[in-house]
Structure 1
């Protein structure tokens, strides 16, 4: 008795198919974050401690040299950056978790572009990190930052851009890693220098030459500085104080425009996402 073969139809790939895949991965990242209340609270604890405990303590030491400005106001853009960086990297780390439990393999064998999976991860991590940053944004009035609509919208857009870039960086790191311990070890080794050398916690003016070079080559400097420019543009501070706390980034004698800084962050994010896609295409 002859056995009749049963045909299996595999859905054709296309742009619409990949867009649905991006939406599914993004939606999964949002659900995972919303349902993890402990993670939400822990991601907020560190920047809040830095802002209100460390900021208050340091402010008492420098109050005489920056009249009319609360040092926590200076630190505020840096704490927004810290929030989105930590949250974005943890979102990227979920790839390693998915690999350990086999879910990543199921996504990789699905009839969708691997690039769609990476784009969904990057956008999902960026949205989650931005949502977390909104909580810090809501604390603006507590540190002397006005709730001007234009300022809030500007900070929101800059937060998303920084979150997208750091998530893409995290996805690139996580693409080949097999366990969470390795990922978190590398994450700490990468994040701490980037945060401390970005000007998030100290002004970029009058630095020693070796430290100035490190801040200039640090990509996160170009994410923190536009946020600080946006905040200080809505404050009434003496010119000499603004020159100390908000000097901007200089390449030799060139003052780097904020638009160029944002362009560099966006270009880096796209380059990292492209690298992550290439990593996934070579993955199992």
Structure 2
């Protein structure tokens, strides 16, 4: 009997965490994020409505107040890069928050026990969230002509790259926070408390020129400032405005009188994103 029982035993082999296996896992997580986004029409509409209202309602109202100081430029043109960044950042934040939703419904546990590295799950989540946010930002980008921003191919490509970097960094930050959150209310409470002040201090809705010294310091310390400023620099480089107006609306970011170059700003955003990605992976490795 013993030999017969032994012959009935079936061996089980757990797949190794190879590079190809993890790449497939990244692809699956990314694909799931895209499907979730495309199937959630109310989310798409709600995430677009707020920046459109800010751009065309508030931008028009504020523009009527400052039209004398910025002659020849529509204030909505100034706000356009800020509204792109707001759309991308908010969408990326919601994408990161889906981790908490997955935890509440048990799907996250299934992913964590899967025979793939947890780093692959985090990378797939960050890439998926960044891609979803960039797609959402493209819809706002399509409105460029309505606010006198030219549809220049080089400009559009530059904005796409900068949008993706900002979205990736925001998603990585959200994933790092969400790794320890138990419910959606706590997550969005913390993210709103952190993200909204950063958005307001980034120069998305007001020029960085002639600010009080304390506000200049806060904007310079704000990481989102270095995501918004390259977008605005790219837009204004394709506009025909006077040096005086450019100095008011597009002064750039300065450290002790030295203007920070755009490549350094983009590199800082990318570097912060990589640091947050590593932090997110570390958090997930400690998650039960």
TM-score category of the 2 structures, normalised to the smaller one = over 0.9
2:56 alignment partner in structure 1: 52
Question: Deviation at 1:6?
Answer: 2.6
1:194 alignment partner in structure 2: 198
| Pairing partner for 1:120 from 112, 124, 127 | 124
| Pairing partner for 1:210 from 214, 229, 235 | 214
**Per the alignment, in what secondary structure is the counterpart of residue 240 of structure 2?**
coil
Q: Which runs of 4+ in 1 moved over 6 A?
A: none
**Structure 2 matches for 1:125-164, cutoff 5 A?**
125-164=129-168
Question: Deviation at 1:190?
Answer: 1.1
| Pairing partner for 2:189 from 174, 185, 194 | 185
Q: How many residues align?
A: 284
2:17 alignment partner in structure 1: 13
Unpaired runs of 5+ residues, structure 2, are none
| Pairing partner for 1:228 from 232, 246, 257 | 232
Are 1:253 and 2:275 an aligned pair? no
Write the distance in 1 (CA, Å) between the matches of 2:237 and 2:10.
68
Write the distance in 1 (CA, Å) between the matches of 2:231 and 2:106.
39
| Pairing partner for 2:241 from 232, 237, 240 | 237
Are 1:281 and 2:285 an aligned pair? yes
Question: Deviation at 1:191?
Answer: 1.4
Are 1:103 and 2:107 an aligned pair? yes
Question: Deviation at 1:127?
Answer: 0.2
**Per the alignment, in what secondary structure is the counterpart of residue 207 of structure 2?**
coil
Are 1:62 and 2:66 an aligned pair? yes
Write the distance in 2 (CA, Å) between the matches of 1:183 and 1:226.
29
Task: Kindly report the root-mean-square deviation, in angstroms, between the aligned alpha carbons of the 2 structures.
Answer: 0.6
1:173 alignment partner in structure 2: 177
Q: TM-score, normalised by structure 1?
A: 0.99
Write the distance in 2 (CA, Å) between the matches of 1:268 and 1:261.
11
Q: TM-score, normalised by structure 2?
A: 0.98
Write the distance in 2 (CA, Å) between the matches of 1:20 and 1:30.
15
Question: Deviation at 1:254?
Answer: 1.2
Write the distance in 2 (CA, Å) between the matches of 1:56 and 1:195.
20
State the structure with more CA Rg. Answer: 2
**Per the alignment, in what secondary structure is the counterpart of residue 115 of structure 2?**
coil
Unpaired runs of 5+ residues, structure 1, are none
